Amino acid sequence: MAFLTGVMLIDAPASALNNAGADEGARTENAIAVKFIRSRQGAFPYVSAQAFRYWLRNTLEQAQDAKWKAAPVFREAKIAYTDANPIEYWDDDLFGYMRAPSKKAGAAEKRREDASRATETPTSTEITRVSSFRVSTLVSLAPVSISSDFGTMTRHEGDPVPHEHQFYRAVLKGLVSLNLHAAGTFSYLNRTGYRNLDDNRVEIAKKNKLEHLDGNEKSYRLPWEQRTERVAALVRALGVVYGGAKLALHYTDVTPVVFIGMITNGGNNPLQYLIGPNEKGEPHVRSDAVRQSLTVWRDQILSKLYVGWVQGFCDVERASLQSELEKFNKERKQSEGVDFVFGHPREILAQLASDLCDRSNSTWLK
């Protein structure tokens, strides 16, 4: 089972990308705190996985050239859910869902009266789908001193209204993973956590003549071209993702300044420790980790190593990584080396998306 495995860095020079709400005990009543992890080493600002996934969904939905098909969202009292039809909607496929409409008296009647549900896919039982796309919390490489910005609202008659918010300067690191086997493959196995399709959706799969995977898996699968089209759209979006809080005051480009990825067997991430902080807390390529990771995991690597690194960001470390990869290949037989490509993250992610759509790499999605 193959996975797209990657690590990325986001440069936040003066930012507040993910906030935690009111800062109790601050100098002003309307102070906003950033999210951070406190440890013995200090404070590590972070962006939650939920926030990053929200940015990525918005990017995919709003991209002018994308064919991305987002599922409608329905609300019932205190719960909300998507249409949960991964055959039609691309985000239901790759981002997962849980669909359990309320069984309370009158709930079904309210659903029938809701005009926005005219195209809703009927649901006969609870269904869930684990997300094929996974992302870690993006955490600062090193602890930082969190600053506070103090301002006032003065565009009115009378005393100014003070306000305050936290921000930081950091480089955030996160991991990404995409289960290529699961993309476009939908189980109807009657087992908690595994049932993606109810009887209604199985009928849709049959009507669309999807490939049937029998045996232990009990799944239906989209054609290879449709699966790769969805995966490629998501991969390309990683190179143009935008979003974040406090952009009016701390505009930050959240596209990765570094993305390193490859296709591997299994969901492990050998790339996690390639980059860490130096004694100054700045990004540093760990040469020993590069050699060890590629040596230990070489038999699980199915593709070239895709290295996207923005020129102007830690150029010395960029050159160091390229040098280490060249040395690694020189010291080994050709069959034991790892092909690699360097470029801008957007270019590299576009090349990776293109390679995923190449028929010669069709085994990656089996």
Please name which of 229, 255, 251, 231 lies closest in space to residue 241, comparing C-alpha atoms.
255
The domain locations on the chain are: 2-48+137-180+232-361, 73-132+185-221
The span from the first CA to the last CA of the chain, in angstroms, equals 7
Confidence of residue 244 (pLDDT cuts 50, 70, 90): very high
Confidence of residue 279 (pLDDT cuts 50, 70, 90): very high
Kindly report, residue by residue over 355-366, the tens digit of the pLDDT: 999 999 999 998
pLDDT beyond 90 at 16: yes
Report d(CA 4, CA 241) in Å as an integer.
18
Kindly report, residue by residue over 78-131, the tens digit of the pLDDT: 778 899 999 999 999 999 999 887 666 666 667 776 777 778 898 989 999 999
State pTM to two decimals.
Answer: 0.92
Instruction: Average the pLDDT over 304-326 and give the result.
Output: 97
Query: Which residues sit opposite 4 in a β-bridge?
Result: 178, 263
What pLDDT is stored for residue 278 in this prediction? 96
pLDDT beyond 70 at 236: yes
Confidence of residue 76 (pLDDT cuts 50, 70, 90): confident
Confidence of residue 332 (pLDDT cuts 50, 70, 90): confident
pLDDT beyond 70 at 162: no
